[in-house]
Homo-oligomer: A and B are copies of this chain.
Amino acid sequence: MNAKSTEKAGTSASGHQKIDWAKINMPMLAKISDDFAQTKPFSELTIGVSLHIEKKTAVLLLVLQTGGAHIVATGNFGTTQDDVAAALNELGVVVYGRRDDSQSEHDANIAKVLSHEPNLLLDNGADLIQMVVRDSRFTTKGILGGTEETTSGDFRMREELAGDIPFPIIVINDSPLKLIVENKHGVGQSIVESFNRITNLMIQGKRIVIFGYGWCGRGIAKYFKALGGRVAVVEIDQITCLEAAVDGHQVMDSLEAAEWADVIVTATGRKGVIGPEHFELMNDGVILGNAGHFAWEIDTPVLLKDAKSVDGLEEGIEVCTMPSGKKIVLLCRGKMINLGGSEPKGNTLECMDMGFTLQALSQECVVKAGEELVPGPQAVPDRINIDTATRMLSHIR
């Protein structure tokens, strides 16, 4: 027996360990890696990357590297895991930036990636695309195209760069696979797990209100109910409300819900859905958490301002004592609770294995099948969705 101990320092060692655990549980990328090792679709090409740098994205970058690519990457602002970045650098992936970079350092890193004159872009929020199209220091000439992970990046391309992107960009996030596998089931599972992990509270018998019954809300409601919670849904679309009702959930308006709830979780994508008019009606001890991308669904600034005192207790937990003496418990300052509290791990490895399979196959598609693509943002081609579903099914025995 030859045991390595688990190291936690920000050195490359812990980075390698994390990447190794992810690799074992991302079998779809492992298969693509084997294929790319033969076919070398990115031979002689440079891929410029702007993406959260953590263990799961690391596995993706290493797969693209195996496909022959030279990878030059930088993280999203404030999220780079330094130990993973260190490990990637040792493995020949160029990674710029550190977790504590300033905004201007971050912008400089984006520019550094572009200075390598990448042939493909792998973007998350359209930072690279924006700069290469708009910044006169760079040219779009050698660029074959690329991929964009997020819907926000898609909006930015359509609104700020409309018509000005001369190469194709495949937008990953709207694939039906992501809506079902990642948003409904992946986020559903991780929000319930995070509620447990942060609060240490019992779910059975609790009155839990979900604001929003989109794909994420459907999953969150399903799994809180599955664990014994009594679930109510607040939703503005009447047809979706009816869906929630026949799914066995109670349906309420937001004020009723505020009065009824033990726990409220927001997943609407909208700003300020929980505000002072709700705080006023809430029960003593109510717990507020957010599952939406932005930290704006609960009106946190007003809550913190109105509170007589705010006590940080366990990590991710702040107890706001209101002038009336009532306590409102705020989780993670209104940020996504599945990325908050102590040691959050985010979406499951298999979710991201699926999502990054879409990425890897879309990158390959940009190189190989240029003719079926048009300039600008576009959906993942159907055949890639079907291929990815088939691959994932082969790992659910």
- Interface, chain A (partner B; CB < 8 A): 1-6, 8, 17-18, 20-21, 24-25, 176-177, 180-181, 184-186, 189-190, 192-193, 196-197, 199-207, 223, 225-230, 238-239, 241-243, 245-248, 250-251, 262, 285, 304-305, 307-315, 317-319, 327, 329, 342-343, 345-346, 348-351, 385-386, 389-390, 392-393, 396-397
Cβ contact of A308, chosen from B2, B228, B392, cutoff 8 A: B2
Known interface pairs A189-B204, A200-B349, A393-B245. Does A313 touch B18 (Cβ–Cβ under 8 Å)? yes
Known interface pairs A20-B311, A189-B196, A238-B389. Does A205 touch B245 (Cβ–Cβ under 8 Å)? yes
Top 7 nearest A-B pairs (CB, nearest first) are: A226-B226, A6-B312, A193-B196, A21-B313, A228-B248, A202-B350, A205-B396
CB pair A348 B309 closer than 8 Å: no
CB pair A242 B181 closer than 8 Å: yes
Q: Can you tell how many copies of this chain the complex includes?
A: 4
* From A193, A205, A241, A317, residue with most partner B Cβ within 10 Å: A205
CB pair A189 B176 closer than 8 Å: no
A263 to chain B, nearest CB (A): 12
Cβ contact of A17, chosen from B177, B206, B313, cutoff 8 A: B313
A71 to chain B, nearest CB (A): 23
* From A203, A313, A349, A392, residue with most partner B Cβ within 10 Å: A313
B residues less than 8 Å from A248 (CB atoms): 204-205, 225, 228-230
Q: Could you list 22 A-B pairs, sorted by A, with CB under 8 Å?
A: A3-B304, A3-B311, A3-B318, A4-B311, A6-B315, A18-B313, A21-B317, A24-B285, A25-B201, A176-B239, A180-B239, A180-B243, A180-B246, A181-B242, A184-B246, A189-B228, A202-B348, A205-B245, A227-B227, A228-B248, A238-B393, A342-B342
Known interface pairs A312-B5, A312-B6. Does A246 touch B228 (Cβ–Cβ under 8 Å)? yes
B residues less than 8 Å from A310 (CB atoms): 1-4
A215 to chain B, nearest CB (A): 12
* From A24, A186, A239, A262, residue with most partner B Cβ within 10 Å: A239
Cβ contact of A312, chosen from B3, B186, B193, B390, cutoff 8 A: B3
CB pair B312 A227 closer than 8 Å: no
A41 to chain B, nearest CB (A): 23
A203 and B245 CA atoms in complex are apart in Å by 11
Cβ contact of A250, chosen from B230, B304, B309, B351, cutoff 8 A: B230
A242 and B310 CA atoms in complex are apart in Å by 34
B residues less than 8 Å from A312 (CB atoms): 3-6, 17
A230 and B248 CA atoms in complex are apart in Å by 7
B residues less than 8 Å from A250 (CB atoms): 230
Cβ contact of A242, chosen from B242, B319, B393, cutoff 8 A: B393
A25 and B286 CA atoms in complex are apart in Å by 11
Cβ contact of A180, chosen from B25, B242, B351, cutoff 8 A: B242
A340 to chain B, nearest CB (A): 12
A17 and B317 CA atoms in complex are apart in Å by 10
B residues less than 8 Å from A307 (CB atoms): 1
A192 and B224 CA atoms in complex are apart in Å by 13
CB pair B189 A227 closer than 8 Å: yes
A180 to chain B, nearest CB (A): 5
A132 to chain B, nearest CB (A): 33
Closest to A190 in B: B196
CB pair A203 B228 closer than 8 Å: no
B residues less than 8 Å from A319 (CB atoms): 20-21, 24
Closest to A310 in B: B3
A202 and B342 CA atoms in complex are apart in Å by 20
B residues less than 8 Å from A311 (CB atoms): 3-4, 17, 20
A152 to chain B, nearest CB (A): 24
B residues less than 8 Å from A315 (CB atoms): 6, 8, 343
